[in-house]
């Protein structure tokens, strides 16, 4: 090796280093390109192919008269939407969805919040602020229903609501026994056994389905709220108590505002769920109940597409529900945000 050779080598390395430095700023190294391609490319491809593209397509299909079976379809503009507007079953389904939208989030979240408060700060007023004894047990058990697949919950409640051998009627009749015994002594007519078909009776069906949904989700949101409440500093809760705030007032005026984010998330999720509700409704009342008393839009959509073979119309329904869903999400998130800003 001559001195000049070393010199050249050094110069080359220096140039290379500069090159790398420059490249790092502008063009990523091949290794990094590959890294991005794999790490971002694959998940994005899956997401675009199986989530985004079907959604985009359904917007197009909603403007056609596609049957789903034949490859041929015509562009028919807004005729599908017109048809839906004239479809009484769609309106009935939408009304049921809206009833669920009002009832489910309200009842579920109030109940979940109340239970969460009890297991976190509902304990004795002696000593520190804490939950009732056995709080862990209650929390674990309450979550059980969420761990059970929705389909099973639906089937389980089919058993419970069964007019003959069901748990609910059995329980009600059990309560009747002492009542009838008393009536017998007095000489009055005994009351008849309860034989209500809870899911078959128009008056009760939707509420019966709704109860199964509430049963499922209360524990889930309870766990969510418990986590939120536990992140509130103890000092705050103690200060409230020292200032003479009772547990009810503390939970409504101090705890609730401090877990506002969790509550608004819960509202959005529960709202989106109420606008779907497909699994529960289709398992408990496969045809949407007597006189469509429990039919929801998702079930109507499913039947229109796969039973009646009108994919175009079904897509139009889907688009309308997507718009409603997004509106609900935006309104709830917006309300939460504006309140936060006011604070």
Partner 1 sequence: MSAPTHPSTHAEVRERGSGEQRRIPVRRRDRGSDGAGFSALHHAVLTLWALLVILPLLWTVYTSFKTSREILTDPFGLPEHMQWENYSRAWQEAKIGEYFLNTLIVVGAGLVAVMLLGAMCAYVLARFQFPGNRAIYYGMVAGLTFPIFLAVVPLFFVLKNMGLLDGRMGLVGVILSYVAFALPFTVFFLHSFFSGLPDEISEAAAIDGAGDFRTFFQVMLPMAKPGLVSVAIFNFLGMWNQYLLPLVLNTERDNYVLAQGLVNLQAQQGYKVDWGGMFASVVITVIPVLIVYVIFQRQLQGGVGPSTDK
Q: Which of 11, 22, 23, 32 binds partner 1 (CB under 8 A)?
A: 32
Q: Are residues 281 and 207 in contact, defined by beta-carbon separation less than 8 angstroms?
A: no
* 107-129-266 Cα angle (round to 5): 25
Q: Say how far apart CA 336 and CA 33 lie, in whole Å.
A: 41
| Binding segment toward partner 1, per CB under 8 A, in 14-22, 82-90, 184-192, 278-286 | 278-286
The DSSP code for 101 is H
CB distance 255 to 316 below 8 Å: no
CA distances 80 to 4, 64, 69, 86, 190, Å, are 82, 8, 18, 10, 56
As a whole number of Å, the end-to-end CA separation of the chain is: 76
As a whole number of angstroms, the distance between CA 58 and CA 89 comes to: 21
Interface segment toward partner 1; rule CB under 8 A; list 183-191, 202-210, 229-237, 249-257: 229-237
Q: Is 125 exposed, middle or buried (0-12, 13-18, 19+ CB in 10 A)?
A: exposed
Q: Which two tokens stand for residue 196?
A: 């209500």
Q: Supply the minimum distance, in Å, between the C-beta of residue 215 and partner 1.
A: 7
Of 292 and 325, nearer to partner 1 (C-beta) is: 325
Handedness of CA 227, 232, 233, 239 (dihedral sign): negative
Site for partner 1 in 235-254 (CB under 8 A): 238, 244, 246-247
Q: Collapse the DSSP code of 148 into the 3-class scheme (helix H, G, I; strand E, B; otherwise coil) and give the result.
A: coil
> Minimum distance between the CB of residue 135 and partner 1, rounded to whole angstroms?
8
Establish if 194 lies at the interface with partner 1 (CB under 8 A). Answer: no
Q: Which range binds partner 1 by CB under 8 A, 80-88, 91-99, 168-176, 201-209? A: 168-176
Q: Which two tokens stand for residue 232?
A: 């509130």
Residue 189: CB minimum distance to partner 1, A = 25
**Cβ at position 191, least distance to partner 1 in Å:** 19
Please report, as residue ranges, which positions from 287 to 326 form the binding site for partner 1 (by CB under 8 A). 298, 301-302, 305-306, 311, 314-315, 318-319, 321-322, 325-326
> Is there binding between residue 113 and partner 1 (CB under 8 A)?
no
Choose the stretch contacting partner 1; rule: CB under 8 A; options: 13-21, 153-161, 189-197, 199-207: 153-161
Q: How far is the CB of 49 from partner 1 (least distance, A)?
A: 7
Bridge partners, residue 252, by sequence: none
Please tell me whether residue 83 binds partner 1 under the rule CB under 8 A. Answer: no
Establish if 105 lies at the interface with partner 1 (CB under 8 A): no
Q: Does 329 bind partner 1 (CB under 8 A)?
A: yes
Specify the stretch interacting with partner 1 by CB under 8 A; choose among 1-9, 16-24, 181-189, 271-279: 271-279
User: Judged by CB under 8 A, does residue 158 bind partner 1?
Assistant: yes
Contact between 218 and partner 1 by CB under 8 A: the answer reads yes
């Amino acid at each position: 090796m001559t001195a000049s050779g070393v010199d050249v080598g050094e110069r080359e390395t220096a140039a290379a280093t500069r090159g790398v430095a420059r490249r790092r700023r502008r063009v990523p190294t091949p290794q990094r390109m590959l890294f991005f391609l794999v790490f971002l490319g694959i998940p994005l491809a899956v997401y675009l192919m199986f989530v985004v593209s079907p959604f985009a397509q359904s917007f197009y299909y909603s403007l056609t008269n596609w049957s789903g079976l034949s490859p041929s379809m015509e562009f028919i503009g807004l005729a599908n939407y017109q048809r839906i507007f004239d479809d009484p079953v769609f309106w009935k389904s939408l009304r049921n969805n809206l009833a669920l939208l009002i009832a489910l989030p309200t009842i579920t979240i109030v109940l979940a919040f109340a239970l969460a408060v009890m297991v976190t700060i509902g304990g004795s007023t002696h000593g520190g602020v804490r939950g009732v004894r056995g709080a862990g047990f209650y929390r674990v058990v309450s979550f059980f229903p969420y761990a059970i697949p929705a389909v099973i919950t639906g089937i389980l409640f089919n058993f419970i609501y069964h007019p003959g051998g069901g748990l609910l009627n059995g329980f009600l009749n059990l309560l009747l026994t002492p009542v009838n015994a008393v009536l017998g002594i007095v000489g009055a007519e005994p009351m008849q056994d309860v034989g209500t078909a809870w899911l078959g009776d128009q008056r009760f069906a939707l509420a019966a389905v709704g109860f199964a949904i509430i049963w499922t989700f209360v524990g889930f949101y309870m766990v969510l709220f418990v986590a939120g409440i536990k992140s509130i500093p103890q000092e705050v809760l103690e200060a409230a108590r020292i200032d003479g705030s009772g547990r009810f007032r503390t939970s409504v005026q101090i705890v609730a505002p401090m877990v506002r984010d969790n509550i608004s998330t819960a509202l959005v999720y529960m709202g989106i769920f109420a606008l779907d509700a497909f699994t529960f409704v289709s398992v408990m009342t496969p045809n949407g109940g007597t006189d469509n008393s429990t039919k929801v839009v998702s079930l109507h959509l499913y039947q229109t597409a796969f039973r009646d073979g009108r994919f175009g119309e079904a897509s139009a329904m889907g688009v309308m529900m997507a718009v409603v869903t997004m509106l609900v999400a935006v309104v709830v998130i917006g309300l939460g945000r504006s309140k936060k800003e006011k604070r």
